[in-house]
C-alpha cells in the first residue's frame, strides 16, 4: 500500500476541497490573484497527484484586474452529482478593514478537464461557499456570514440556503445554522450526510497558528447543530510540531467506505511558511459516540500516512521546462490576467517563450509575469534568456515573489549609453530596497544571459552568467522570510498566498502596440536541492 509524507501537495495549495468519482479523486485549491483560477489535481491512490488544467480560464469567468494582493480566488468547493462536476468559488474584490466584498459563483462541467460553463452568480454575504447534494435531490449552499458592523465579531456563523439548478439561483431565505464554538472565527463549511446525521465540518481559530477543524451534527439540515466536544484536527496546542496552521478540511470516502480528510497546513522555518499553506491528508475513524476521529489518534495531523488503495504512480513534472510547446504547462500562472498574445507568445520564436513588456512588477492590472509555485525549502531556479533593452525603462528577468508588496527581482535593463546591466530590486511590506545600493553589474551588449535564484530555507542568493557555465553572485545573502503570511501578520496586515518564482518583462515607456520591448526565455529549470 502506498505511503506518503504530509503535505501531499507542495507549495501554495490551501483550502483543499476533495471529491471522488468512482475510483478517481480530485482536489481543488485556492489560487488568489494568480490566473488561471483554482488549481485542480487528480489521483487514484490519494498519494500520487497529477496537476490538471485549471477551470477558470476566461475573463468572463474570472476578472481580477485591480484585485488586491491575496484577493481573487478563495476556498473553492468541488463536488460531483449525477454526471456533473460543480465548482463553487469566491472572487474577493476587497478584504481590508471591516468590509469584505466576496462574490460567490458556480460553474459546471461534465468533464473535469472542461470545458467549464459560464458562471452563475450566487451571493456575496460571506466567503468559503460550499454546495451540498442531499439524497432527496435538493441542493444547498453553505457559506460563512460576514458581519461588517463596527465593533462586532465579523464571523457571524454559517448560512444555509437552497440552490435551484433549474432556476440557476438561490431560493428561499438563508438560515444561520451554526455560530461556532468559543474558539470563534468559524468558516470553511462543508455539509455531509452520514449515519443518519447531517455533519457540518468547519474551520475555526483563524488561518494562522490557532487554526483547526471542528465538527458539528444535527438530525435535520437546518439544525440545531451540536458541536463535537473536541476539534477533529489542530496544532494550536503544539507550536513545536513540524506541521502547523492545520485546518480548513474536507471529507472524502473510498469505495469501501473508508473516510479521509484533506486539510491545509504549513511547514514553518523560523516561524515563517514561505512555501505558503499546503495540502495534507489523514485517515479517519468513528468514535463510539458517533464523532469522527483521526485514525492515528489524537488531534495532531499525521506526518506520514498509508493509503488503503492500490498504488497508482503518476509521471512527475520535469524540473526543466523548455518552451517548444503550444501551451504553457498547467503549473505556470500569471498575475490577475490570462496569458494572451498581448502578454507573450510560444510561436513568435519557436522553442522560446517570448514575453512582452507591460506594466511594472507591482501593478494590479497588467503585469507580464509567468511563474510557478516554490515547492521546496531548498531550490535552485535558473532561466536562460535573450533580451535587448533599448532603455532603462525596459527590464526583464527572474522574480521570486509572494505578492507585489513582498518580492525580490533580479533583472536586466538598458543603460543610457546603450549597454546592458544587471540589477536587483526588492520590496518588503511596501518598502523598496536595493542590496546593491544603486549599483549594477555590467554585461555584454549582446548574447544570452543566465539568471539564477537559490533559496536555502529563508535565505535567497542571486547569480548571473554570460556563458551558462560560470555564475557570478550578486547582491549577497538576502533574508526572504518576508515571503510569508506571517510577515504580513507581524505588521498587522492580512496575507494568504505563497512564494512563486518566474520570468518577467516590463516596458515602462508605454510604447504603442507592436513597439513594446520583449524578452525571450529558452528554458526555466527549478531543481530541488535536498
Distance of alpha carbon 197 from alpha carbon 188, whole angstroms: 19
Distance of alpha carbon 191 from alpha carbon 141, whole angstroms: 9
**Residue 200 backbone dihedrals phi, psi, to 5 degrees:** -110, 120
Query: How many CA atoms lie within 13 Å of 237's alpha carbon, on the beta-carbon side?
Result: 9
Tell me how crowded residue 2 is: count the other CB atoms within 10 A of its CB.
Answer: 17
Distance of alpha carbon 526 from the chain centroid = 18
Name the β-bridge partners of 27: 18, 41
Tell me how crowded residue 73 is: count the other CB atoms within 10 A of its CB.
Answer: 27
Catalytic residue among 366, 421, 459, 525: 366
Please choose, from the candidates 320, 330, 388, 382, the residue with its C-alpha nearest in 3D space to the C-alpha of residue 354.
388
Distance of alpha carbon 421 from alpha carbon 65, whole angstroms: 32
Distance of alpha carbon 451 from alpha carbon 387, whole angstroms: 12
Tell me how crowded residue 474 is: count the other CB atoms within 10 A of its CB.
Answer: 20
DSSP string, 213-229: EEEEEESSTT-PPEEPS
Distance of alpha carbon 503 from alpha carbon 521, whole angstroms: 8
Q: Is 494 a catalytic residue?
A: no
**Residue 153 backbone dihedrals phi, psi, to 5 degrees:** -70, 125
The C-alpha cell at 501 is 518564482
Show which residues are catalytic: 366
Amino acid at each position: 500500500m502506498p505511503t506518503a509524507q504530509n503535505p501531499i501537495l507542495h507549495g501554495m495549495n490551501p483550502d483543499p476541497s476533495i471529491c471522488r468519482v468512482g475510483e478517481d479523486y480530485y482536489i481543488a485549491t485556492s489560487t488568489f490573484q494568480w490566473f488561471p483560477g483554482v488549481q485542480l489535481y487528480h489521483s487514484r491512490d490519494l498519494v500520487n497527484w497529477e496537476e490538471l488544467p485549471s477551470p477558470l480560464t476566461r475573463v468572463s469567468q474570472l476578472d481580477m484586474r485591480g484585485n488586491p494582493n491575496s484577493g481573487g480566488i478563495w476556498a473553492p468547493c468541488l463536488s460531483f452529482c449525477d454526471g456533473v462536476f460543480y465548482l463553487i468559488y469566491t472572487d474577493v474584490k476587497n478584504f481590508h478593514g471591516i468590509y469584505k466584498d466576496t462574490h460567490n459563483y458556480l460553474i459546471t462541467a461534465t468533464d473535469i478537464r472542461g470545458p467549464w460553463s459560464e458562471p452563475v452568480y450566487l451571493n456575496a454575504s460571506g466567503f468559503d461557499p460550499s454546495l451540498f447534494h442531499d439524497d432527496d435531490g435538493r441542493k444547498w449552499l453553505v457559506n460563512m456570514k460576514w458581519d461588517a458592523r463596527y465593533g462586532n465579531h465579523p464571523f457571524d456563523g454559517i448560512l444555509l440556503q437552497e440552490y435551484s439548478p433549474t432556476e440557476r439561483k438561490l431560493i428561499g431565505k438563508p438560515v444561520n445554522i451554526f455560530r461556532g464554538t468559543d474558539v470563534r472565527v468559524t468558516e470553511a463549511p462543508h455539509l455531509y450526510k452520514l449515519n443518519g446525521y447531517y455533519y457540518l465540518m468547519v474551520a475555526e481559530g483563524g488561518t494562522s497558528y490557532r487554526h483547526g477543524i471542528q465538527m458539528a451534527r444535527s438530525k435535520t439540515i437546518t439544525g440545531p447543530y451540536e458541536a463535537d466536544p473536541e476539534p477533529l484536527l489542530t496544532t494550536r496546542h503544539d507550536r513545536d510540531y513540524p506541521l502547523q496552521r492545520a485546518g480548513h478540511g474536507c471529507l472524502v470516502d473510498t469505495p469501501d467506505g473508508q473516510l479521509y480528510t484533506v486539510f491545509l497546513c504549513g511547514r514553518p522555518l523560523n516561524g515563517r511558511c514561505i512555501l505558503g499553506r499546503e495540502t495534507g491528508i489523514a485517515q479517519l475513524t468513528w468514535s463510539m459516540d458517533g464523532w469522527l476521529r483521526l485514525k492515528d489518534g489524537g488531534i495532531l495531523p499525521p506526518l506520514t500516512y498509508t493509503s488503503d488503495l492500490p498504488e497508482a504512480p503518476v509521471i512527475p513534472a520535469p524540473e526543466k521546462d523548455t518552451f517548444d510547446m503550444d501551451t504553457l504547462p498547467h503549473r505556470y500562472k500569471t498575475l490577475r490576467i490570462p496569458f494572451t498574445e498581448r502578454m507573450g507568445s510560444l510561436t513568435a520564436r519557436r522553442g522560446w517563450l517570448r514575453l512582452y513588456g507591460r506594466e511594472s512588477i507591482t501593478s494590479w492590472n497588467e503585469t507580464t509575469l509567468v511563474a510557478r509555485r516554490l515547492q521546496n525549502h531548498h531550490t535552485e531556479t535558473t532561466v536562460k534568456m535573450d533580451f535587448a533593452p533599448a532603455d532603462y525603462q525596459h527590464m526583464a528577468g527572474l522574480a521570486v515573489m509572494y505578492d507585489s508588496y513582498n518580492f525580490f527581482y533580479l533583472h536586466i535593463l538598458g543603460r543610457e549609453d546603450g549597454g546592458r546591466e544587471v540589477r536587483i530590486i526588492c520590496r518588503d511590506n511596501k518598502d523598496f530596497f536595493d542590496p546593491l545600493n544603486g549599483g549594477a553589474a555590467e554585461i555584454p551588449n549582446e548574447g544570452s544571459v543566465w539568471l539564477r535564484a537559490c533559496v536555502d530555507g529563508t535565505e535567497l542568493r542571486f547569480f548571473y552568467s554570460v556563458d551558462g557555465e560560470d555564475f557570478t553572485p550578486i547582491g549577497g545573502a538576502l533574508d526572504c522570510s518576508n515571503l510569508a503570511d506571517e510577515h504580513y501578520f507581524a505588521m498587522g496586515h492580512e496575507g494568504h498566498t505563497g512564494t512563486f518564482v518566474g520570468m518577467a518583462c516590463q516596458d515602462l515607456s508605454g510604447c504603442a502596440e507592436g513597439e513594446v520591448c520583449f524578452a525571450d526565455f529558452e528554458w526555466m529549470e527549478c531543481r530541488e536541492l535536498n
